[in-house]
Structure 1
């Protein structure tokens, strides 16, 4: 067990809930479509973070609920984000023990793969529902999210160490 793993064992549920709510609010801010593809998927990143470090609190069921909330908030077909987020969390849960031993760089590569899978599912579902390709700019978000993964991990560790939340 790593130091990070033992620290997250004592993380309060309030921190988990507040971080997921903050990520949902960031994802639900209305942004013009050309810019939306360049932003990281905050809810997905936070869900993946907690499913990696606290799988007993955030797992596939929570991913489903958060995905439905994102679907309602963004006005996308019901279940689109839920399906994509479930697939991404499943990849993380299957590789959880290996990922906890990785450095932040290798964790970011695994996060990139799961977020790319999530984006592919979103594009495919959108294509079948509207018969239009959404564009290539949507595939930029997993790159940016993977680049921000080490910062997110360090920030969440800082919040867990401070124990104010």
Structure 2
């Protein structure tokens, strides 16, 4: 897919520095709501971070601009056939700069490289960016769930 890159970013390992920044980002109520992230205590978050190295059903990377982490992306609930793609930019000054396009292309390429048959995304209806980027990358609405606020879109690879 062609898109105009506005700024250069690097996708790197999700390390301790990015983990600490993500704790900051996810303390923002707007980002937490857009990412469907429940509140949890520091101990639970540390346990999750330490457990990443042993997980085969979870892939996570960080997005860097210059030498600063600015976002996170990944695939969770990975099975032999699919997984749930997700991404967010925690540094709001980078919202609207087409970084999400690069992030989703990276996730699609990774999913293909591990032979997944499809990817899906879940988001709340008010998250118009997720819907737009999903459509742009060929994701189609699969179902509306619960109170009608949650949308699932899928793309076959």
User: TM-score normalised to the size of structure 2?
Assistant: 0.31
Q: Which structure features the higher share of helix residues?
A: 1
Q: Which structure features the higher share of strand residues?
A: 2
